Structures are given as structure tokens and as C-alpha cells.
Amino acid sequence: MARLLCTSLVGGTLVLLAACQTDTGPAGPRPDTTGGTPATVTPPASTPARTPTDTGLTAPQRLTLLADTLVSTPDDSATTVLPYEYLHTRNWNRATNAIVRTDTQRWRHADGSGREVTRRAPDLQGVHHQPTRDEQELFDAAEPTTIRYRPGELATHLPDVFPSDTDTLIARLVPPELAAEPTYPRLLVDRVVAMASHHHLDPQQRAATLQVLAAVPGITYQGLTTDLAGRTGMSFHVVAEQSTSSLVIDPTNGQVLSAEERVDSLRPGLFTYVLIVARGRAGTDRDPASHS
């Protein structure tokens, strides 16, 4: 409410007439006197989420990011209806002065029973060898050998308890007293590869093993590559005591696709190579994986 003082000049004398009140009503928004259109406020553009294959990341950062963002596979939730783990691998392993080539299909039940079907291609003399896609036809032509395992006979490569804490898991995989040894980085990589090539790891287990790899001293990222099965993956290297370990990891689900170790000692060359052709779960020890 505004108060207005009204006056009048009569005969040269200033006379106070009255105290006049003008009620302007409650305060409200001021009218737009500019005649223009109100300005539109544009929100700031959101920053795209980083992915493990982005530039500018270290190897540990990539592995940690992948552990945090990896996606599930169809078989990750099929444990109860499909009780068998299924792994199909192809291995090139050094034996004295030759490379032994083996194709293995393995069905493993949680009770340690299961079945293995192996096919062995002819050995290669010498150790200076790089596995190729052409060799895979040799496995298909080889005679299969089947071994059945009763409960408890088919070994596991997982720790008795799979802890979620990275330091605890590392200590379960490799004794802490070996941490100062030159072979320690390679031992950690070997244990991760053994788990990934013998078991269908669930998302939590895959994330935990990726965190282990992120903690491996000296691990480096080599960019994207293609494995013998034609799959694109992230390549990581670890150099330890005259050997180089390499892993190819799927950039979306975090699965190890293949792994290799080459030695630079007095007899340099291939030491081991494993290609994980397929993995998943099966209803019996004769069924193929539901999703390879």
C-alpha cells in the first residue's frame, strides 16, 4: 500500500488537504515491456561416458573401467537350469623341442564330475612357431579321445572361496611372499588365464579377475587386435623375467578370448598359446553350450 500526501496552494498559503491513500494491490510479476520473446536456456551438453577402448587411458584404468561396466552373457544366469560348465579350447604348448597342439571340449559339473573330448593335431618340431587359423582344420580331422570323470575327479582352477576384495583374491592366487620375485607378474597372469580357460566365470568373477590384472605390475595396453577366431579384443602385455605374456580380452563382457606366452631365454620362442573357442553352460555332458 502506497501513501500519497496531497497539498494545495490557497492565497499563497500552503494548506494540507488530506492524506490520500492509493492501494496498488499485492505485488506481482512485472509485465514484459521489452516486447520480445523470453530467452531459452540451453542446458550444458552431457559428457559421454568413457569406454575401456577410449584413448588416453592406462592399462590399469582400462581394466578397472571394464570391470565396472562389463555386460552379462546369456549363460551367466543359467546356472540352475544348465548345471554343466562348457569350455572349448585349443592349446599350443611347448614340450622340450616341439609344440603340442590339442583341442579340448570339457563339460564340468559343480560336483567335479564331467567329460572331456580331446583331439590332437600332429606335433610341430621346434619352438619358433606362431599359431595360425589354418591349423584349426587339423584339429577337426583328428581322432577324438573321451575321458569321463566321477564326482571330485575333474580339477577346479578356482580358489575355494572367491573373494570380492582384490588384494585377498591376489593372495589366494599367488602367495604374497612371492611378490618380490621377478616371475610374480607372470604368475598372476597365468592364474587368471587358467581360471578363464577352465571355467565359465560369472560377471562378478570376471570383474574380480580384471581387477587382478589391473594390479599386475608393469601391464601395458597394446590396442585392439583380432584373435585366431576372428574376434576383436583388447590386447594387454606383461613382460617378466625373459618372457612376454599377452592376453586378448572382450571389451564388452570382459571374457578372456586368448592368451599367449613367449620366452626370450636361451631357447626363445613360443611357450604356450590358448584360444578359447567357446564357453557357456550345458544341460548334460553331451550338449553343446547353449550360447557359444
**Cα–Cα distance, 77 to 4 (Å, whole number):** 81
Is the pTM higher than 0.85? The answer reads no
Q: What is the mean pLDDT of residues 87-100?
A: 96
pLDDT of residue 45: 61
**Residue 83 burial by Cβ neighbours in a 10 Å radius (0-12, 13-18, 19+):** middle
pLDDT band at 13 (very low <50, low <70, confident <90, very high): very low
**Cα–Cα distance, 286 to 31 (Å, whole number):** 80
The x, y and z cell numbers of residue 80, run together, are: 540352475
The x, y and z cell numbers of residue 183, run together, are: 616371475
Q: What is the mean pLDDT of residues 211-217?
A: 97
pLDDT of residue 21: 45
Per-residue pLDDT tens digits for 251-278: 999 999 999 999 998 789 999 999 999 9
pLDDT of residue 290: 59
**Residue 90 · residue 274 · CB < 8 Å:** yes
Per-residue pLDDT tens digits for 168-194: 999 999 999 999 999 999 999 999 999
**Residue 280 · residue 272 · CB < 8 Å:** no
Residue 288 has pLDDT above 90, yes or no: no
pLDDT of residue 78: 72
Per-residue pLDDT tens digits for 109-159: 999 999 999 999 999 999 999 999 999 889 999 999 999 999 999 999 998
Listed by start position, the domains of the chain span 68-282
Q: What is the mean pLDDT of residues 47-59?
A: 92
Residue 245 has pLDDT above 60, yes or no: yes
pLDDT of residue 215: 97
Q: What is the mean pLDDT of residues 71-90?
A: 88
pLDDT band at 164 (very low <50, low <70, confident <90, very high): confident
The residue with greater pLDDT, 191 or 81, is 191
* Sequence-separated (6 or more) residues with CB below 8 Å from residue 93: 99, 100, 102, 271, 272
3-state secondary structure 33-95: CCCCCCCCCCCCCCCCCCCCCCCCCCHHHHHHHHHHHCCCCHHHHCCCCCCEEEEEEEEEEEE
**Cα–Cα distance, 275 to 157 (Å, whole number):** 17
The residue with greater pLDDT, 89 or 30, is 89
Residue 74 has pLDDT above 60, yes or no: yes
The rounded mean pLDDT for the chain is: 86
What are the beta bridge partners of residue 102? 91, 120
pLDDT of residue 274: 98
Closest CA to 127 of 277, 275, 260, 276: 260
pLDDT of residue 36: 53
